[in-house]
Chains A and B, each alone.
Chain A
Amino acid sequence: MTNQSSVEKSKDLVVAPAPHISGAMSKNRLMLYTFAALMVITVITAVLWWHVPVPTELQVSQLGLSNAWVMPLGAILLVSALVAVGVAVGIDFLVGKIAADSEINTMSAAVFGLIVTLSYSYGLPQMAQVTDVMPIETLTAPMIFAYVALISGIGLLVFKKLQGMAGRKFVNPAAAAKFLVLLPFITSVFIVKDHFADWTEGGLSVPKLAGPLGWGDLAVGGNGLGSFSSNLQGCYSDPTLMNPQSIESVMLFTKFHGWAGGASSIAVIIVGIALFVLARKYIKWRITATYFVSIIAMSLVMTGIYGGDALIRIIFEIFIGSSIFLAFFMATDPATTPYTAKGQIIFGVGLGILTVIIQTYMNFFGGALLALLIMNLTVPLIDRIGLRKPFGR
Chain B
Amino acid sequence: MTFEKIKEQKEIARKTPIEIFPDPKTAIVLTYQHTGAQNSPLVSVGDTICIGQKIADSKERVSSPVHSPISGKVIKIADSYNHCYEESSSAIFIENDGKKTKDKTLTPISENELDSTKIDALIKRIREAGIIGLGGAGFPTNIKLSPPADAKIKNLVVNATEGEPFDAADERLLIEKTENLLKGVRVVRKILGNPKVTIATKASKVDAIPKLQEVFGKEPDTVVVAGHFEYQQGDASLLQKALFGYETPPTKRSYEMGCIVQNVATINAIANAVFEGEPLISRVTTLNGDVPKPKNLQVKIGTPVKDILNANSIDMNNVKQVVVGGVMMGHALPNTDAPVTKRTSSIIVFNETKTKKQTACIHCAKCIESCPVRLQPILIYNAITKADFEKAEKLYMKDCIVCGTCSYVCPSGLPLASTIAASKKQ
Contacts and interface: CB of A to CB of B under 8 A. Distances in A.
Interface of A: 1-5, 7, 10-23, 25-27, 29-30, 103, 164, 281-284, 334-341, 344, 387-393
A25 B409 contact: yes
Nearest to A280: B366
Contact of B411 (A4, A14, A282): A282
Contact of A15 (B75, B334, B409, B417): B334
Contact of B375 (A2, A13, A341, A390): A390
Given A4-B75, A282-B366, A340-B365, A11 B336 contact: yes
A173 B417 CA distance: 31
Interface in B322-380: 322-323, 326-337, 348, 350, 353-356, 359-360, 362-366, 368-369, 372-376, 378-379
B396 A390 contact: yes
Contacts of A282: 364, 366, 411
B362 A335 contact: yes
A20 B334 contact: no
A19 B369 contact: no
Contacts of B93: 5
Contacts of A338: 365
A20 B365 contact: no
A281 B369 contact: yes
Nearest to A164: B360
Interface of B: 4, 6, 26, 45, 75-79, 84, 93, 165, 237-238, 241, 247-250, 252, 306, 316-317, 319-323, 326-337, 348, 350, 353-356, 359-360, 362-366, 368-369, 372-376, 378-379, 395-396, 399, 402, 404, 407-413, 415, 417-418, 421-422
Contact of A14 (B250, B332, B375): B332
A237 to B, nearest CB: 40
A1 to B, nearest CB: 6
A2 B373 contact: no
29 contacts: A12-B334, A13-B334, A13-B335, A14-B321, A14-B332, A17-B332, A18-B323, A18-B331, A18-B404, A18-B418, A19-B329, A20-B327, A20-B330, A21-B327, A21-B354, A22-B354, A22-B407, A25-B411, A27-B412, A103-B359, A281-B366, A334-B362, A339-B363, A339-B376, A341-B369, A390-B375, A391-B372, A391-B373, A392-B373
Given A5-B26, A29-B411, A339-B379, A20 B335 contact: no
A22 B334 contact: no
A387 B368 CA distance: 9
B368 A339 contact: yes
Contact of B328 (A19, A25, A283, A390): A19
B368 A391 contact: no
Contacts of B316: 10-11
B415 A17 contact: yes
A304 to B, nearest CB: 35
A25 B413 CA distance: 10
A275 to B, nearest CB: 14
Contacts of A29: 411
A341 B368 CA distance: 9
B332 A4 contact: no
Nearest to A343: B365
Nearest to B397: A390
Determine which residue in A1, A16, A337 has the highest number of CB atoms from chain B within 10 A of its CB, and name it.
Answer: A16
A194 to B, nearest CB: 40
B328 A21 contact: yes
Contacts of A11: 316-317, 319, 335-336
Given A12-B335, A21-B355, A339-B378, A1 B76 contact: yes
Contact of B45 (A1, A7, A30): A1
Contacts of A22: 354-356, 407-410, 413
A29 B328 CA distance: 22
The 6 closest A-B pairs by CB, nearest first: A17-B418, A19-B404, A391-B373, A392-B247, A392-B249, A388-B374
